[in-house]
Structure 1
Amino acid sequence: MVAFEDIEGFAFDMDGVLADTARFHAIAWHQIADEVGTVWDDELAEALKGIDRMGSLKLILEHGNVAEKYDAAARDALATKKNDNYRNLIATLTPADALPGMLDFLESLQTAGYKMSIASASKNAPFIVERLGMQKYFDAIVDPASLSAGKPDPAIFIAAAAAIELAPEKVIGLEDSAAGIKSINAAGELSIGIGDSKVLHEADLNFATTADVTLARIKATLD
């Protein structure tokens, strides 16, 4: 495993790591699932974590066995409707919606001189960061539209390291989804999973909640 002193940067997923925007995604996708006749269940909700917009829609349509009913234009319309619903929901975000411990963690990283980037599948990440008042902490936000593949492909975490001018092995990635952990690992970065260790069993380090994530605990675990 990488030594703590070799780490120079951190790459963050957004949903479920910095803020609970995942609940807004779930509400907006649930609305789309209802519209197309797909039954919403825990299995589907978990499968959508960390997956980009069109990938999520594809899973919803397949889960309901209705994929053949929607051509490209219809899928684009559904994806647009979902995003409109989602943006209406995230417009209500404030700094108070940052997940427990994350603002303190970001502050500690900035004070210690680490570079930080965001590797989120959400095209709305810049807007969310602004609503949360976190702009000052991040040196870069990867545009998922610029990538050829979404998570679990490593492209987004490779881009997140490049955006802060670091080699992947000098970066720690933080994720709450299995797809995201696979992405970090494939990029050659050290992975921190936040959530159920059974779901995130491929993570190099695991914390049950965001409130447990501190620089001191990461250092203690790596040392």
Structure 2
Amino acid sequence: MSENALFTILQDIKLKNDMPTVQACLFDLDGVIVDTAKYHYLAWRQLANQLGFDLTLEQNELLKGISRMESLEIILKIGGVKLDEEEKLKLAAEKNVRYLELCKQITPDDALPGVRDFLDELRKDKIKVGLGSASKNAKTILTNLRMLDYFDTLVDGNRVTKGKPDPQVFLMGAGDLGVSPDRCIVFEDAVAGIQSAKAAGMIGIGIGEESVLTEADLVIKGFDGVTVSDLFGKLK
């Protein structure tokens, strides 16, 4: 074996050994644990129609991973509608009522394929689990999915003051769990969410398309057939 080849092998071993042990995993909700995007879209579209214009599926993509009030601001801009703060709060509340009514249809069968098995494996490996979501309805949705007990902490729109890509949501989650950010992995389906994870100093795994989630450390299609050991191995 040449000296250069030996050096390459030793460097590879060093890099693998230098990777911090993963102690916690933080998950976004929509598009990662469950797909409630269709309910958000229907509720926002009804609101847009109420204001006299339509909301397309393409325009709805702009609302992914951001807060309710930020979403409303984008929708009002699309429709060219100007409202005062009181009217905005009223519309946001109306949208949420519609959304929650639609979410009553959610059952345990609506959990995305493989995610429950993945969470079971994390629990067996004694890896802490947290939720980091802009949703203010995360607890209700997880209860309907019968998945609330999987999570050691919930950081949602009721707790954070800054939306993604600000790292606040994931830093709060790590703080709740008592884990250093560099020992956390974040699972996200939105560009803003991956940016939030990276800004927090965490590993960001994207759920979706590599062409979209270009800043992620690794991108997977979903959790179906994915094991914790195999996934962590790909990060080394």
Q: Same fold (TM over 0.5)?
A: yes
Q: Following superposition of structure 1 onto structure 2, how do residues 11-26 of structure 1 map, counting pairs within 5 Å? A: 11-26=26-41
Q: CA deviation at 1:99?
A: 0.3
CA distance in 2, matches of 1:8, 1:217: 16
Deviations 1:58-85 (A, max 9, x none): 011112222x2x1111111110111001
Alignment of 1:114 with 2:133, yes or no, is: no
Q: What stretches of structure 1 move > 6 A for 4+ residues in a row?
A: none
Larger radius of gyration: 2
Q: CA deviation at 1:163?
A: 1.3
Does the CA-based 8 Å contact 2:44-2:55 persist in structure 1?
no
CA distance in 2, matches of 1:56, 1:104: 32
Partner of 1:172: 185
Give the structure, 1 or 2, with the largest relative contact order (CA under 8 Å, sep 6 or more).
1
Residues 152, 38 of structure 1: CA spacing in aligned structure 2 closer, same or farther, 3 A cutoff? farther
Alignment of 1:138 with 2:151, yes or no, is: yes
CA distance in 2, matches of 1:216, 1:14: 22
Matched-pair identity in %:
42
Q: Give 1:88's match in structure 2, choosing from 91, 96, 101.
A: 101
Partner of 2:171: 158
TM-score (norm 1): 0.94
Report the number of matched residues.
221
Residues 62, 135 of structure 1: CA spacing in aligned structure 2 closer, same or farther, 3 A cutoff? same
Partner of 1:62: 77
Q: CA deviation at 1:4?
A: 5.8
Deviations 1:41-97 (A, max 9, x none): 24321110101100000011112222x2x1111111110111001111111211111
CA distance in 2, matches of 1:138, 1:171: 14
CA distance in 2, matches of 1:165, 1:207: 27
Partner of 2:223: 210
Does the CA-based 8 Å contact 2:118-2:223 persist in structure 1?
no
Q: What letter matches 1:10 in structure 2? A: C
Does the CA-based 8 Å contact 2:28-2:131 persist in structure 1?
yes
Structure 1 spans left out of the alignment, 5+ residues: none
Does the CA-based 8 Å contact 2:32-2:188 persist in structure 1?
yes
Q: What letter matches 2:36 in structure 1? A: T
RMSD (Å) for aligned C-alpha atoms:
1.6
